Chain A
Amino acid sequence: MRVVVTINMVGLNAYRRDTFQHPTLGLAVVLALVAWTAAAIWLYHDRARRTSLLLVADLAIAVAAMALTPLVKTPDFNATIPGFWVMGALLAWAIHWHWKGGLVAAIALSVTDLLPRSDLDQGNYGNVFLVLIGGPIVGYMCESLQRMARERDAAERAAAAAEERTRLARAVHDGVLQVLTMTQRRGAAAGGEWADLGRLAGEQERSLRSLIRQQDTLPTAAEGRVDLAGALEAMATAHPVRVDVATPGGALLVDAHVATETVAAVRACLDNVLAHVGPEASAWVLAQAAPDAITISVRDDGPGIASGRLEQAEAEGRLGVVSSIRGRIEELGGTATMESGSWGTEWELTVPLA
């Protein structure tokens, strides 16, 4: 940019050389400015050389070149010798000292420009006005850009660190899972007290595994929406019945209210399993997601419900759990159906997504 304004400066001064009262002095000033431009480009190139002294010198030379104008040209000159060349120093100040630097440099240049002029026309006023506005604005923008770059760097570093932590955690978790699983297997083979220890290890293994899965989907949760798959995992892990949760992979984002009610309904299904089949029962939860609805299947390996028993219970008004499941799902505009057979009992809960 300095090169462009320098060429512009040299060209304009050559074109207007007849307005010079002292052409030799004028030529010297122009040459000095060209030399300083070359020096400045080299000096500014290295961050270490970009000192306050350099910036002050840069502005001083620009001011000096402007101040010399009345001596070189007539006192009622039209354009200063450096003209737009002063832009270089102005922008350097704005970049280095932000809006304050831009403002100071702009004032210094404007005052130097205005003081020796005998009359102020529209053009002079426009230039000064632009310089005064432009300096601080460029400075302010530089500051924002530099701050944004810093923030971006910090965010990138934080993300890299988090990723590294996740990777390490994965390795550690994997090792812990292996040992827990091994304890579970060996314990079961050894029998007796060891079998109890193995069972405990198995429980821990399942909790850790579900925790890892929940964490994997955590960052995708957005405002007001929660991950239903993770919520189901968390609930199932804490439930006394042994539950296997199958999800479509990734987060299942639904409104917080829908998630709360659906999880509560699934919990009621599992409570039902605990009450009717017992703590030794196994249950499976499958979550599926279509664009317009989610479907949750809950199955247990119990003996099933004999046909007619539900109707009988309903008639006797003993349908607390069942109505709680149906009630919650129908409140969400969905349907809850139940099937039972020798393979156990299965609830299918379908909830529309608005």
Chain B
Amino acid sequence: MVRVMVVDDHPMWRDAVERDLQAAGHDVVAVASNGREAMARFPASAPQVVVLDLQLPDNTGVQVTSMMLEHDPTARVLILSASGEQGDVLEAIKAGATGYLVKSASSAELVDAVTRVAEGEAVFTPGLAGLVLGEFRRIADGPPDDPRDQLTERETEILKMVATGMSYKQIASRLVLSHRTVQNHVQNTLRKLQMNNRVQLTRWAIEHGLDTEGE
């Protein structure tokens, strides 16, 4: 059983997700319809997984993600979005979200994703894998003194397979690796992405003289 919070501005949708999760034996500890409500209810309900729609009326999806994880780093955020792979999905993942699912995913896929995200496993769609590959490609093509981490050849190879819709099981058998190893590689790409984001934020802060705060 996973303690879940559902954040979505469409009541119809929120109810459906809630019902699906409850039917699968999960505990929906809180719901919210915008970023402000979500932040107000998050600390008291202490969910393990937050199922978050990025298209909130107050446009705070990415911000809510980073605020929640700052408040409780053990919480996991699963982005659920209707509009498909947009730039803000990548931003939310960089801000620390662990998974991403399009809303057209079936109930079973959603329940499975919540379970996997609760265990800290990364959940990617092919579209998001393509965006992540693009992001690392841009880093690789950028200036050579960039301190940000790049993907290893293996990680790129695996991410490419995720981007062409292959399951971890299929990837494992194609590359003759264990399922666990594939999972770790995907996990690593996510970790690097989030680490790079922090490096970039820190660099930005130093360049703008924000690191002297508190002196």
Note whether A and B form a binding pair: yes
Q: Are A246 and B104 in contact (CB under 8 A)?
A: no
Chain B residues near A248 (CB-CB < 8 A)? 130-131, 133-135, 137-138
Choose from A185, A250, A299 the contact partner of B164 (Cβ within 8 Å).
Answer: A299
Chain A residues near B104 (CB-CB < 8 A)? 181, 184-185, 202, 205-206
**B36 CB, nearest partner CB in chain A, Å:** 18
Q: Are A174 and B130 in contact (CB under 8 A)?
A: no
Any chain B CB within 8 A of the CB of A271? no
Q: Are A286 and B163 in contact (CB under 8 A)?
A: yes
**A41 CB, nearest partner CB in chain B, Å:** 43
Q: How far is the CA of A128 from the CA of B165 in the complex (A)?
A: 80
Besides the contacts A184-B104, A246-B85, A282-B165, what 17 more A-B pairs have beta carbons closer than 8 Å?
Answer: A170-B83, A177-B83, A181-B103, A186-B16, A205-B104, A212-B83, A213-B85, A246-B129, A248-B133, A249-B85, A249-B90, A284-B164, A289-B137, A297-B160, A297-B163, A301-B165, A343-B171
Which 7 residue pairs are nearest across A and B when measured between Cβ atoms?
A248-B134, A246-B130, A284-B165, A177-B82, A299-B164, A209-B84, A284-B164
**B84 CB, nearest partner CB in chain A, Å:** 4
Chain A residues near B127 (CB-CB < 8 A)? 244-246
Hey, what's the 0/1 contact readout for A186-223 against B, CB within 8 Å counting as 1? 10110000000000001001100110110010000000
Q: Are B13 and A182 in contact (CB under 8 A)?
A: yes
Q: Are B10 and A178 in contact (CB under 8 A)?
A: yes
Q: How far is the CA of A343 from the CA of B173 in the complex (A)?
A: 9
Interface residues of A in 233-247 (CB under 8 A from B): 244-247
Chain B residues near A182 (CB-CB < 8 A)? 12-13, 16
**A175 CB, nearest partner CB in chain B, Å:** 8
Any chain A CB within 8 A of the CB of B208? no
Give 27 A-B contacts (CB < 8 Å), ordered by A residue.
A170-B83, A174-B82, A182-B16, A185-B16, A185-B104, A188-B106, A202-B104, A209-B84, A213-B84, A213-B86, A244-B127, A246-B127, A246-B129, A247-B130, A247-B131, A248-B131, A248-B135, A249-B87, A250-B134, A286-B130, A288-B130, A289-B134, A289-B137, A290-B137, A297-B163, A343-B173, A346-B164
Chain A residues near B10 (CB-CB < 8 A)? 175, 178
Q: How far is the CA of A181 from the CA of B104 in the complex (A)?
A: 5
Chain B residues near A246 (CB-CB < 8 A)? 85, 126-127, 129-131, 163-164
Chain B residues near A285 (CB-CB < 8 A)? 164
Choose from B87, B90, B137, B163 the contact partner of A284 (Cβ within 8 Å).
Answer: B163
Q: How far is the CA of A181 from the CA of B107 in the complex (A)?
A: 12
Interface residues of B in 141-186 (CB under 8 A from A): 141, 160, 163-166, 170-171, 173-174
Any chain B CB within 8 A of the CB of A11? no
Chain B residues near A174 (CB-CB < 8 A)? 55, 82-83
Residues of A in contact with B, size category: 35 or more
| A185-B106, A202-B104 as given contacts; A290 in contact with B126, CB under 8 Å | no
Interface residues of A in 263-316 (CB under 8 A from B): 282, 284-291, 297-299, 301
Chain A residues near B85 (CB-CB < 8 A)? 213, 246-247, 249
Any chain B CB within 8 A of the CB of A173? yes
Chain B residues near A170 (CB-CB < 8 A)? 55, 83
Q: How far is the CA of A209 from the CA of B137 in the complex (A)?
A: 25
Any chain B CB within 8 A of the CB of A341? yes
Residues of B in contact with A, size category: 35 or more
Chain A residues near B141 (CB-CB < 8 A)? 290-291
Chain A residues near B133 (CB-CB < 8 A)? 248, 286, 288
Any chain B CB within 8 A of the CB of A342? yes
Interface residues of B in 111-137 (CB under 8 A from A): 126-127, 129-131, 133-135, 137
Q: Are A342 and B173 in contact (CB under 8 A)?
A: yes
Q: How far is the CA of A170 from the CA of B12 in the complex (A)?
A: 19
Chain B residues near A245 (CB-CB < 8 A)? 127
Choose from A202, A244, A249, A342 the contact partner of B126 (Cβ within 8 Å).
Answer: A244
Chain B residues near A341 (CB-CB < 8 A)? 174
- Most B-side CB within 10 Å, residue of A173, A188, A247: A247
**B29 CB, nearest partner CB in chain A, Å:** 23
Q: Are B160 and A286 in contact (CB under 8 A)?
A: yes
Q: Nearest residue in A to B8 (C-beta to C-beta)?
A: A178
Chain A residues near B106 (CB-CB < 8 A)? 185, 188
Hey, what's the 0/1 contact readout for B1-32 against A, CB within 8 Å counting as 1? 00000000010110010000000000000000
